[in-house]
Amino acid sequence: MSKKPGFLYLFTMGMTIIYVAIGIFLLFSSNAAELLPEWRHIALGLIMFIYAGYRIFRLKRIQQQIEKEQSTN
């Protein structure tokens, strides 16, 4: 019997998608280059991608915890 993902899992997934979208915007948008001149928009975009990677890692840990709890029940 599969259990629905909890609120924390869904929230983390949603925020990860938002961080990736912001990273793409910062890297490829000319508007971001105007707001953050020189290299700053590139640095912030890369930081957003790195943080999204961390969130993906967290998603995997949450999923493993859910599977572990299901196997013990």
Residue 47 maps to a domain? yes
In which band, very low, low, confident or very high, does the pLDDT at 7 lie, cut at 50, 70 and 90? confident
**Considering its fold, how many domains does the chain have in total?**
1
The pLDDT of 25-44, averaged and rounded, is 87
Q: Domain range spanning residue 57?
A: 13-72
Residues 6+ apart with CB under 8 A from 11: none
Between CA 70 and CA 36 the distance in angstroms is 47
Residue 8 maps to a domain? no
Q: Which uninterrupted H or E stretch holds 51?
A: helix 40-72
The pLDDT of 28-52, averaged and rounded, is 89
Q: What percent of the chain has pLDDT over 90?
A: 38
Residue 17 maps to a domain? yes
pLDDT at residue 17, rounded to an integer: 94
pLDDT at residue 1, rounded to an integer: 42
State the pTM of this model: 0.75
Report how far apart, in Å, the C-alpha atoms of 31 and of each of 17, 20, 25, 52 are.
21, 17, 9, 22
Residue 62 maps to a domain? yes
Residue 2 maps to a domain? no
